[in-house]
Every structure is written in structure tokens, then in C-alpha cells.
Amino acid sequence: MDYKDLRALMVSTQLIPRGIKDKRVLDAMERVPRHLFVDSAARAYAYADMPLPIGEGQTISQPYMVAVMTELLELNGTEKVLEIGIGSGYQTAVLAELSKDVFTIERIVSLAEKAKKRFQDLSYENIHLKTGDGTLGWPEEAPFDRIIITAGAPDIPSPLIEQLAEGGVMVIPVGGLSSQQLRKSRKNRGNLIHEYHTPCVFVPLLGQYAWHNDD
């Protein structure tokens, strides 16, 4: 079976049966070559129903988790998106397929460099990348229509609330170090209205407005 067939199988067996409905999300995940976002040794498992190690103690998220978070963002192609936690860059690429511009921040320089090379090889021109503490956001580029955090946080970092546009949506795993729950928050007249979604397990969001190395 080739990678295109494995992608179609991933969509039909992992995403649709679990309730992913947004056709744009399903199509994007059928297009983006996930196997190019993992090291060659892990390529055989790239479309398996699980997260995979990507080095530096970090992971590429399970396909279903990428699909859920992306669907919750309600993207129509016009949005300016902020992503915290590039990891492999796979989620970033899915976002870039579905929005106008993606601004993305990674704290681990080696992962950011690898992801940057992948974005260049795949000719993504709407991805803007920087390294640093994503809990501070990207104030020079704010406000953002959508914000996605792909690491587990003890709470929503306050700079990210400030940088979310009015009417904008944020998706973030919130909870303890060992498990979290996906939260979707919409800004309405300056206040966040929360919805609570699936339980999940993410690596920790480390930074000034999140977990600290000694937590």
C-alpha cells in the first residue's frame, strides 16, 4: 500500500468513524504527507492511530487529535492563526492548508529547524515561524482570529487571551501534567466563553505563563 492509500485509510478508519465531519479538514488530512514529518525510522508507523516520538522527548500528535483540534477551530480559509508548539510541523501544515496565514512558535530550536526545512521542501509560503516561549504569544502580529496550543497547559496563558481577536476561537488542552481536557474558548465582548471537549494527554507547555521546568 502506498502513502496516499494509507492516508485515505487513516481518514476512513480513524477520523470519520470518530465523528470528524468538516470536509475541508478531512480533505486536508488526506493531502498532507504525514510520513514526511517523522524520521525515516518511524515512517512505517506515520499513519498509525497514535502519537509518535520526534526526538527531544516530544511527539507528533495522533492523527485524530490533530483532526479534532483543527475542526474545533472552524477554519474557512481567511484566518490569521497563531500556533504554539510546532513539534514536527505536521499540525502546522494542516492549518496552513485551511487558513490564510499561520504564525507558529516552538521553544526547542532543533525541532523548529527541522520543521522549517519541511515547510520549505513542501513549498508552504503562508507559514511564519519563530523560536522562543510561545506562552508570550507574538504581540507584534496580534490580534489572531484563531489560536491553537498543542501542549498541555495548567491554564490559558493570559498573553494569549489578550492576543485573541474579538469573536476569535482558541483551542487548548488544559489540566494537570499527566492528562488534560481539550478546551475551546471563544472571545465574546472581551470575555472567554468555554466549551469542554475530549480528554487528552499532551506533553507539557513549558514557559513563563505555563509549567516551569521544576514543576
Catalytic residues: 61
Q: Does 14 bind ligand SAM (CB under 6 A)?
A: no
Residue with smaller CB distance to ligand SAM, 14 or 58: 58
Among 108, 28, 39, 37, smallest CA distance to 75 is for: 28
Q: Which residue has the cell 512558535?
A: 105
Q: Does 144 bind ligand SAM (CB under 6 A)?
A: no
With contacts defined by CB under 6 A, how many residues of the chain interact with ligand SAM?
26
Q: Does 205 bind ligand SAM (CB under 6 A)?
A: yes
In the complex, the smallest distance separating the C-beta of residue 186 from ligand SAM, rounded to whole angstroms, is 22
Q: Does 104 bind ligand SAM (CB under 6 A)?
A: no
**DSSP designation for 11:** I
Specify the length of the chain in residues.
215
Q: Where are the beta strands (DSSP E) in 30-179?
A: 52-55, 58-60, 80-84, 101-106, 127-131, 144-149, 164-175
Q: Does 72 bind ligand SAM (CB under 6 A)?
A: no
Q: Does 141 bind ligand SAM (CB under 6 A)?
A: no
Residue with smaller CB distance to ligand SAM, 90 or 119: 90
Amino acid making up residue 86: I
On the 0-12 / 13-18 / 19+ scale of CB atoms within 10 A, 96 is: buried
Q: Which of 20, 111, 169, 200 binds ligand SAM (CB under 6 A)?
A: 111
Residue 124 has a CB neighbour count (10 Å cut-off) of 19
Q: Does 206 bind ligand SAM (CB under 6 A)?
A: yes
Give contact residues for ligand SAM (rule: CB under 6 A): 58-61, 84-85, 87-88, 90-91, 105-108, 111, 133-135, 150-151, 202-203, 205-207, 210
